[in-house]
Structure 1
Amino acid sequence: MLYWYDPMVPDQHFDAPGKSPFMDMQLVPRYADEAGAVPGVRIDPSRIQALGVRFATARQGRLADDLTATAVVDFNQRDIAVVQVRAAGFVQRTYNRAPGDIIVAGAPLADLLVPDWGGAQTEYLAVRRSGDDRLIEAARQRLVLLGMPESLITSVERSGRPRTVITVTSPIGGVIRTLGVRSGMSVPAGATLAEINGLSTVWLNAAVPEALAGRLRTGQMVDVTLAAFPGERFTGRLTALLPEVAGESRTVTGRVELANRGGRLRPGMFGQIALGGGGTDALVVPSEAVIRTGTRTLVMLAEPGGRFRPAEVRIGREAAGQSEVLAGLAEGERVVASGQFLIDSEASLSGVEARPIGSPGAATAAAAPTVHQTTGRVEALTPGSITISHPPIASLNWPAMTMAFDLPDAARTRGLAVGDRVRLDFELKAGKATILRLTPVEARP
């Protein structure tokens, strides 16, 4: 035995047993096998069993590159038609429309009486009887400048009678967003009667965490699932990453455009987008084994002899409950996967220092391979490789060429055909280009 101490004040040592002068508790003995020559804290195996501690081993594994984000269906703000009147008049009739109604292209919205058009049309008909082509053309052009549509002028020419009532129709099919017309009201020239939003396509606004936004590329295809249609998958294209980051949620809005066949997708629906399907090899530990203190990141090492010691680590990506270890652990080292917070508290009370990154015994995970990116056209497909014609690759000083890339996982070519355009991430090792990730750039028609 070396000395006696108070676990709450481990720096104070005493030569004899007794009650602690600091706390209402007995002093605890410190034995030689617990001295600082063997770093860490020793915990009785029975206590470990009682705590239900679980262990995991740092191992080389495949870390998925999948990314998911919640999303909300919204109107396509580029597919909007604004219906305005070209001349002042009076609303004679409406067609029982209301905001939220879904209408087809050409659907009537209101009948509008325009008194000013009557005199101009009468003059035009009188000029037509004169037979003077120049006067007829000038009179017709006046009708156009007064705002009369071509269909109304043609109707006047055929009937030979003035028409001062025009039916205002919707130029596109969709949903009525706003409607500012009621029977009997007067409207000035240029007044907006309605706004129509098309429904042939919709936007899906996905909230992508700021830390993951760098993995997205405009133009890539994404899989979409919607709460309203469980078990059904939709495919869309990422058309834009909005430039602003939401201050409270720290997310970037990714805009996905979806075809809306049959009008099934309704603005306001909740969904989820998924990107990826590939993965990279990395040294991984369970994410639950990682302790984040705010100033550093730790794992609790399980060492021989029932001893435990915190170790500082540097963590990379996380996916499927696994965290990538960039530095601080070696393959094969055991860590505590559950109950590590209680053991860390015991180590802190015993004054055990964490093993720093780069110290003897702390291995740095193998450096991640250098990943190169390019896009290209699929020229040929074989079970173990894919031939792609690609533009110059600046990171390798390669010119544009057609070449074969090794493809360890043949499933990545599922759904691809010769002629498709793809985006690929690959590494160059021992002169061989091996694909790490393969993503279609555009779907075939």
Structure 2
Amino acid sequence: MRTLACFMLTLLLAACSTKDASHQHAHTAEAPAAPAKYTCPMHPEVIQDGPGKCPVCGMDLVLKKEGVALMLNESQMRLANITTQPVSMQPVGQTVSINGKLVLNEEGSSVISSRAAGRIEKLFVKETGRAVKKGEPLYELYSETLLTLQREYLLAKEQYETLGKDHPRYESFLKSAERKLLLYGLTQNQVNKLATTKTFAERVTFVAPTSGLVTELKVAEGQYVAEGAPLFSIENVNTLWLEAETYPQETALVNVGDKIAVRVSGYESTPVEATVMFLSPEYRANTLITVLRATLQNEQNTFKPGMQAQVLFTHSSRRALALPSDAVIRDGSGAHVYVQTGARTFEPREVKIGLENFMQVEITEGLAEGDTVAVSGAYLLYSEIVLKKGGDPMAIHQHE
């Protein structure tokens, strides 16, 4: 009887165990898996739970792969100088570049000559290539003529102060003597100082009448010069000329008055604008070329004559989704950009590019109008992901 009871208890426990295991297996099988997400390659904002067609363009949806997010703090954003820009429709075209050179604007040339015969006592500028500002001392001159004119001025001033109230003609004598000094190159401040101190200067300092670059020095200290002898050549470099030679297929892309982009050697990242002012066809070695001349503003004296430059002509423009060239990162996996997905959060996204010029890149796939991407600092984001993830961002993206 006891043996039968033990056998029945064993069967009951086995049945309970089998029931529990079956219940657990059924519970596990019933756990729903996370649904796969599908998106459109052309319109990544379109996301669905299953395959199908894009409601915008009709393309087949593809499996959406999770990206590699990179979150920065405010300090990192400032240090990396990261700026963002929304993707927008812009005119994009192909770019043709031709070589050119910056030369002096001959319209800004001036020659400094001696106003009086005398001896050069001192040169404040002793080398060419130096920039001078208007009013800066250039040289000191000892001149008997200037000494005589200063004495005449002081005499006329004394007569005017003594007899001017009773004889008005002495005022005209004083003004005539002052005008002579100004015509001989003295400044108004020098004349005022002579009137105040009543002491003539044996050496007269002459200053630069204009700002520019000293391109020629024709005198030395101690040299005697005649009246009108050339001493300095000064070129105004606030504007420069860009000169380039174009062939017929390139000449067709530009007209007088057009604004053209110029990339100066050493400053390739910041193209400047120039205005075409001259196109002259010439025959050289049985080949028709056109000499192009454009005016380039240089108020900060950033550029110097003789610098090499490239002229950029853009043609076959069309409106398309475009980004600045610096926003697109190219590596062995293709091209990708960094899309801002949240506050200070960026994710690499693979894109396909079309037309490209020096400034812009057309985006044919991977982005939608209005998406915000990193422009400056994109390469720093690329480096940060490589350091943190230990590999290429897009390779990691595809693997995940």
More helix as a share of residues: 2
TM, length-normalised to structure 1: 0.44
Q: Give the strand-richer structure, 1 or 2.
A: 1
Bigger CA radius of gyration: 2
The TM-score, its normalising length taken from structure 2, stands at 0.49
